[in-house]
């Protein structure tokens, strides 16, 4: 009887997998999140590509081609940072986190499922953006080592965004203030990090500010994947700066993890 009970007990992996399914279902049932994560970046890519796509910013590189890696980077940040922080804050205010914490589900399984859901959503989002870029704006798929660069930039960028999103969710006092605080912050980073504007055309002091944050490096890393090698000379530093990209993204991931571990709470801030 004991052996049967032990063998039927759920494992950490099975609980994580079950929670991942719940996270995906909750995401797909939230219309606002679906629109924000999937429709909004596609709309921006089509809009900017249609209006400015024909303008060349370097030999053989149109603005639409330049805009695609920026939107991919921005999508990763939006999914892992902004959307995740807001959704966790909402769950905390509704006591959903409190109820989850009261179950036998390990905290590590809960967060692993969150990360897996962000990865899955980001992959679908990136696939849609790349498909549109290739079909309508002559974007080129990476080849050879470009796929390896894409993989580590994507994983490090997602890890940094996710840990920062979890950390930020605890710093927000309530869910009502989440969007009002995070949206202007993300917009500022998008305008100064080479997403909506060509990075080298941004004032130098704003370039220095953007270089402190992960989006600039995430966008630059994605440009190294989807733009021709010749464009490297057109970067502000004249280089793709892959080592610096890895260091900055890893540093933000560690910082986000430390803050998340120290500040995360399952209950509301006003809950005694």
DSSP per-residue codes, 141-188 = ---THHHHHHHHHHHHHHHHHHHHHHHHHHHSS-HHHHHHHHHHHHHH
Q: What is the pLDDT of residues 135-190, one digit of tens each?
A: 998 888 988 889 999 999 999 999 999 999 999 998 888 888 888 899 999 999 99
SS3 213: coil
| Total H helices, total E strands in the chain | 13, 2
Lowest-pLDDT choice from 7-16, 123-132, 180-189, 250-259:
7-16
Is 76 a residue whose pLDDT tops 70? yes
Give the burial class of 125: count Cβ atoms within 10 A of its Cβ; 0-12 exposed, 13-18 middle, 19 or more buried. Answer: buried
Element spanning 56, H or E: strand 56-58
pLDDT of 53 reads 65
pLDDT of 165 reads 95
Element spanning 57, H or E: strand 56-58
Q: What is the pLDDT of residues 196-205, one digit of tens each?
A: 999 999 999 9
Mark residue 144 as left, alpha or beta (left: phi above 0; alpha: psi -120 to 50; beta: remaining). left
Residue 225 banded pLDDT, cuts 50, 70, 90? very high
Domain boundaries, the chain: 26-51+60-263
Average pLDDT over residues 105-112: 93
Q: What is the residue-averaged pLDDT of the chain?
A: 91
Is 9 a residue whose pLDDT tops 70? yes
pLDDT of 7 reads 53
pLDDT of 120 reads 94
pLDDT of 272 reads 56
**Whether the Cβ atoms of residue 168 and residue 182 lie closer than 8 Å to each other:** yes
Residue 1 banded pLDDT, cuts 50, 70, 90? very low
Q: What is the pLDDT of residues 14-70, one digit of tens each?
A: 999 999 999 999 888 888 888 888 888 999 998 888 888 678 888 889 999 999 999
Which residues, 6 or more positions from 190, have their beta carbon under 8 angstroms from its beta carbon? 70, 74, 196, 215
pLDDT of 10 reads 87
pLDDT of 270 reads 74
């Amino acid at each position: 009887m004991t052996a049967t009970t032990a063998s039927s007990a759920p494992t950490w992996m099975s609980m994580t997998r079950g929670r991942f399914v719940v996270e995906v279902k909750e995401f797909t049932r939230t219309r606002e999140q679906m629109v924000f994560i999937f429709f909004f970046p596609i709309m921006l890519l089509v809009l900017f590509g249609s209006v400015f796509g024909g303008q060349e910013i370097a030999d053989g590189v149109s603005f639409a081609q330049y805009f695609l890696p920026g939107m991919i980077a921005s999508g990763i940040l939006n999914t892992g940072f902004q959307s995740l922080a807001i959704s966790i804050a909402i769950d905390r205010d509704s006591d959903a986190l409190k109820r989850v914490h009261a179950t036998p589900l390990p905290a590590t399984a809960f967060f692993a499922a969150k990360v897996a859901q962000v990865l899955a959503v980001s992959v679908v989002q990136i696939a849609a953006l790349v498909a549109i870029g290739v079909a309508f704006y002559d974007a080129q798929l990476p080849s050879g080592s470009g796929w390896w660069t894409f993989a580590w930039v994507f994983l490090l960028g997602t890890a940094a965004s996710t840990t920062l999103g979890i950390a930020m969710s605890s710093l927000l006092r309530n869910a009502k203030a989440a969007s009002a605080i995070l949206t202007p912050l993300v917009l500022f980073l998008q305008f100064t990090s080479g997403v909506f504007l060509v990075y080298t055309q941004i004032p130098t002091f704003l370039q220095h500010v953007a270089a402190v944050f992960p989006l600039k490096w995430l966008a630059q890393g994605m440009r190294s994947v989807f733009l021709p090698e010749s464009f490297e000379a057109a970067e502000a530093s004249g280089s793709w700066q892959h080592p610096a990209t890895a260091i900055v993204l890893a540093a933000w991931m560690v910082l986000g993890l430390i803050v998340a571990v120290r500040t995360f709470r399952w209950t509301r801030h006003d809950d005694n």
